[in-house]
């Protein structure tokens, strides 16, 4: 029986070799709207990896629609760069597509020389904190024409298809939604009027590119905005796109950037939003593509086989592992590096105006500059420490042709990745640990577990180079009472080495402190399986089930000396984590100093003098310090040594992965 993922599919008259669609994603790699070598190398690598169709973008349709880091499609000057990009994708076996978009009120005046963004109505954006200017009818007609001209350029450049983004809160969404469209002319008010702009855009594009050229729309299945558009109205919109505007396929997106429902983070279950593509597939007769958190081929093929969709959009999955399609096709699925939806290198980088990178794949975004060419003089390399940094160092050094032995003092590889995986909704970090371990295994790298490296082992092995990735250890603050038996470290809580009482106070409100608080707050809540059982059998009222899903058996308080908790989370992740802090009833006290731990609790500094908070358990989460005790010994023996990961400077998992990889590459 043929794998559903690898059955060919046709959009309009375009034959596509498999059902894997790489959707457009912001890369921040363009230079003044021009396609760069960095962009072409990035997509060349994904095309070689076996994706059926690759959509690039978004691409701009006029000067107001994006910024200079976006690919430009609003002038003929950009056609040569678009031609190079189309060619490199098609020459390497994938079908090519460009997504056109207009940011509308999501554009920043910073990118528009101080001018306000434009929108159907002057409704302020929570994303930009700015109020857009209302478009006139003549300007609306001008934008419609701009979309059509941009689509014609895409076709001229040699792309196989064009896609339009009609979701996520950008301009087309803003016309669709009653939240942002308060117009009283033919483009506002009734549903028919609110969809008019979008339908006219698609009709103009169809006229510009002809009947045979595939036209795709990426649209929301639900915008998750209170008072916005839900599934029912968006299904009607989907029907109109197909019947009235001649759209050939629909890629189903979810949510706006302002929505308070997590959409892309690791807390979102795999394939969670496929129910939206199913709802639209039921009412249209063109291919429907499911999106979001589809990072595993088994999930993907199940969605297709179960008629939830016709294709699957795998975006960040192909950033993390561009060879995912080919590994699936050739029966090597155990070799896949899964996206863990951390957003540290993809989305968080965009807010810093940096190009896309990846925690799981250190080469992503660096395809032009990073090569693992064979070393001229292969060496014997010892890697000490089997966490994220150590495993990546061992993999990179092995790929260079060195003889590598990896030493780990515990009984398993993975290190702090397993601590990161302990809080609710963070399980994907354990997947990364397993994936890296598989990469070690397929390279036949020698692994020594339960081995604490000392001088005797170094003398015996006589390595040419040592990469020291011994990680970090938790810090213990100088607080009186720290030695009491009910004081524990957050790392021990997360690893299951200790249990806590009912009343828990966590000292330290950084990322690990918040994660530990959420880990404990979920104790005693109902599992997803139990919730479904009770809900399906109508055993309890939905409001009761919600309470039982969010109210655990522990009372958790977080103390933080800074003005905010969770300050070291990435921007993409932080709001969702803090939303859960509130939802689970975790108490937080900021700008608070711990004075003393007592047998019954912990004393803190308050406005009117010390106050004691009752606690059965006090959990320390005040940071970590580098563990590099072996460095001086190694250097004293004249052995070349590289320190990477937390052993050098305590950082995030992203830092450990990239530093480890670079250390291995540079041996």
Whether pLDDT at 402 is above 80: yes
Q: Secondary structure of 16-69 in the HEC alphabet?
A: ECCCEEECCCCCCCCECCECCHHHHHHHHHHHHCCCCEEEEEEEECCCCCCCCC
Contact 612, 597 (CB under 8 A): no
Integer distance in angstroms from the first to the last C-alpha of the chain?
46
Host H or E run for residue 141? helix 137-156
pLDDT in tens, 618-658: 999 999 999 999 999 999 999 999 999 999 999 999 999 99
pLDDT in tens, 110-127: 999 999 999 999 999 988
Q: What angle do CA 593, 598, 601 make, to 5 degrees?
A: 70
How far apart (Å, rounded) are the C-alpha atoms in residues 582 and 575? 11
How far apart (Å, rounded) are the C-alpha atoms in residues 330 and 327? 5
Residue 570: band (very low, low, confident or very high) from pLDDT cuts 50, 70, 90: confident
CA 537 to chain centre: 35
Enumerate domains of the chain plus CATH numbers.
4-351 (3.20.20.70), 380-473+625-665 (3.40.50.720), 476-622 (3.50.50.60)
How far apart (Å, rounded) are the C-alpha atoms in residues 626 and 649? 6
pLDDT in tens, 64-104: 999 999 999 999 999 999 999 999 999 999 999 999 999 99
Q: How far is CA 327 from CA 2, 79, 297, 338, in A?
A: 16, 34, 10, 12
pLDDT in tens, 142-199: 999 999 999 999 999 999 999 999 999 999 999 999 999 999 999 999 999 999 999 9
Contact 314, 21 (CB under 8 A): yes
Task: Sheet containing 601-604: give its strands across.
Answer: 594-597, 601-604, 611-614
Host H or E run for residue 516? helix 511-521
pLDDT in tens, 590-616: 999 999 999 999 999 877 789 999 999
Of how many residues is the chain composed?
667
Return the pLDDT at 370.
80
How far apart (Å, rounded) are the C-alpha atoms in residues 255 and 224? 5
Contact 627, 491 (CB under 8 A): no
Q: 220: which 2 tokens?
A: 């929301």
Return the pLDDT at 335.
97
Name 155's bridge partners: none
Q: 158: which 2 tokens?
A: 């040699």
Return the pLDDT at 607.
75
Contact 205, 214 (CB under 8 A): no
76: number of Cβ within 10 Å: 11
pLDDT in tens, 485-538: 999 999 999 999 999 999 999 999 999 999 999 999 999 999 999 999 999 999
Residue 371: band (very low, low, confident or very high) from pLDDT cuts 50, 70, 90: confident
Alpha carbons within 13 angstroms on the beta-carbon side of residue 148 total: 20
How far apart (Å, rounded) are the C-alpha atoms in residues 616 and 75? 66
How far apart (Å, rounded) are the C-alpha atoms in residues 660 and 658? 5
Return the pLDDT at 372.
78
Angle between helices 137-156 and 79-91 (to 10 degrees): 50
Q: 241: which 2 tokens?
A: 């796109």
Residues 6+ apart with CB under 8 A from 528: none
What dihedral angle (degrees, nearest 10) is formed by the CA atoms of 30, 36, 41, 47?
Answer: 70
Return the pLDDT at 657.
97
Q: 537: which 2 tokens?
A: 């059998």
Host H or E run for residue 326? helix 324-329
How far apart (Å, rounded) are the C-alpha atoms in residues 381 and 466? 6
How far apart (Å, rounded) are the C-alpha atoms in residues 431 and 417? 9
Name 611's bridge partners: 604
645: number of Cβ within 10 Å: 33
Contact 435, 419 (CB under 8 A): no
Whether pLDDT at 1 is above 80: no
Q: 106: which 2 tokens?
A: 């999501």
How far apart (Å, rounded) are the C-alpha atoms in residues 363 and 286? 36
How far apart (Å, rounded) are the C-alpha atoms in residues 355 and 357? 7
How far apart (Å, rounded) are the C-alpha atoms in residues 240 and 222? 16
pLDDT in tens, 349-370: 988 889 999 999 999 999 998 8
Burial tier of 139 (Cβ tally within 10 Å: 0-12, 13-18, 19+)? middle
For the chain, the 3-state helix, strand and coil shares in percent, each to the nearest 5, are 35, 15, 45
Return the pLDDT at 297.
97
Q: Is 434 helix (H, G, I), strand (E, B) or coil?
A: helix
Residues 6+ apart with CB under 8 A from 593: 561, 604, 605
- The predicted model gives 259-269 an average pLDDT of 92
pTM: 0.94
Location of structure tokens 């894997």? 20
Q: How far is CA 222 from CA 168, 183, 376, 390, in A?
A: 10, 22, 55, 42
- The predicted model gives 126-142 an average pLDDT of 96
Please state, rounded to an integer, the average pLDDT across all residues of the chain.
Answer: 96
How far apart (Å, rounded) are the C-alpha atoms in residues 442 and 332? 11
């Amino acid at each position: 029986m043929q794998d559903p993922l690898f059955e060919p599919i046709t959009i309009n008259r375009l034959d596509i070799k498999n059902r894997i669609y790489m959707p457009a994603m912001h890369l921040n790699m363009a230079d003044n709207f021009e396609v760069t070598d960095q962009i072409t190398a990035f997509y060349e690598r994904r095309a070689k990896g076996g994706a059926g169709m690759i959509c690039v973008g978004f691409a701009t349709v006029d000067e107001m629609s994006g910024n200079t880091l976006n690919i430009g499609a609003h002038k003929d000057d950009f056609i040569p760069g678009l031609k190079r990009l189309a060619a490199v994708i098609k020459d390497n076996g994938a079908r090519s597509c460009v997504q056109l978009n207009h940011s509308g009120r999501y554009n920043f005046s910073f990118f528009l020389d101080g001018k306000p963004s434009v929108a159907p109505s002057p409704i302020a954006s929570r994303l930009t904190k700015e109020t857009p200017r209302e478009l006139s009818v003549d300007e609306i007609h001008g934008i419609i024409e701009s979309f059509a001209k941009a689509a014609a350029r895409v076709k001229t450049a040699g792309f196989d298809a064009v896609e339009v983004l009609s979701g996520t809160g950008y301009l087309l969404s803003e016309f669709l939604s009653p939240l942002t469209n308060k117009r009283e002319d033919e483009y506002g008010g009734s549903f028919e009027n609110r969809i008019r702009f979008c339908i006219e855009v698609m009709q103009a594009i169809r006229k510009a590119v002809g009947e045979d050229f595939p036209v795709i729309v990426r649209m929301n299945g639900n915008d998750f905005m209170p008072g916005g558009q839900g599934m029912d109205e968006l299904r009607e919109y989907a029907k109109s796109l197909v019947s009235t505007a001649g759209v050939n396929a629909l890629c189903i997106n979810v949510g706006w950037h302002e929505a308070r429902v997590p959409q892309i983070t690791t807390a979102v279950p795999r394939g969670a939003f496929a129910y939206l593509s199913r709802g639209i597939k039921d009412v249209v007769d063109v291919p429907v593509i499911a999106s979001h958190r589809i990072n595993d081929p088994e999930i993907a093929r199940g969605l297709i086989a179960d008629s939830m969709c016709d294709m699957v959009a795998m975006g960040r999955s192909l950033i993390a592992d561009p060879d995912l399609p080919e590994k699936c096709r050739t029966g090597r699925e155990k070799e896949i590096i899964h996206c863990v939806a951390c957003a540290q290198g993809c989305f968080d980088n965009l807010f810093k105006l940096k190009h896309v990178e990846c925690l799981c794949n250190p080469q992503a975004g660096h395809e032009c500059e990073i090569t693992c060419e064979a070393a001229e003089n292969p060496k014997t390399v010892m890697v000490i420490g089997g966490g994220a940094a150590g495993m990546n160092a061992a993999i990179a050094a092995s790929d260079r042709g060195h003889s590598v032995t990896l030493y780990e003092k515990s009984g398993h590889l993975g290190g702090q990745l397993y601590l990161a995986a302990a809080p609710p909704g963070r399980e994907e970090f354990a997947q990364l640990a397993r994936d890296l371990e598989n990469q070690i295994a397929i390279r036949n790298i020698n692994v020594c577990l339960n081995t604490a490296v000392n001088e005797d082992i170094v003398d015996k092995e006589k390595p040419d180079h040592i990469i020291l990735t011994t990680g970090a250890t938790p810090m213990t603050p100088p607080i009186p009472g720290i030695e009491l038996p009910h004081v524990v470290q957050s790392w021990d809580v997360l690893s299951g080495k200790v249990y806590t009482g009912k009343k828990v106070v966590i000292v330290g409100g950084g990322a690990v402190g918040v994660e530990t608080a959420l880990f404990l707050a979920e104790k005693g809540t109902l599992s997803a399986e139990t919730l479904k059982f009770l809900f399906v059998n109508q055993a309890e009222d939905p409001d009761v089930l919600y309470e039982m899903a969010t109210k655990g058996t522990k009372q958790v308080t977080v103390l933080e000396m800074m003005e905010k908790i969770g300050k070291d989370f990435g921007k993409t992740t932080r709001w969702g984590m803090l939303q859960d802090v509130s939802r689970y009833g975790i108490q937080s006290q900021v700008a608070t100093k711990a004075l003393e731990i007592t047998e019954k609790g912990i004393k803190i500094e308050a406005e009117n003098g010390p106050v004691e908070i009752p606690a059965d358990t006090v959990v320390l989460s005040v940071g970590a310090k580098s563990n590099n005790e072996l460095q001086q010994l190694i250097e004293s023996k004249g052995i070349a040594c590289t320190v990477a990961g937390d052993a050098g400077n305590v950082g995030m998992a992203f830092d450990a992965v990239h530093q480890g990889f670079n250390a291995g590459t540079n041996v």
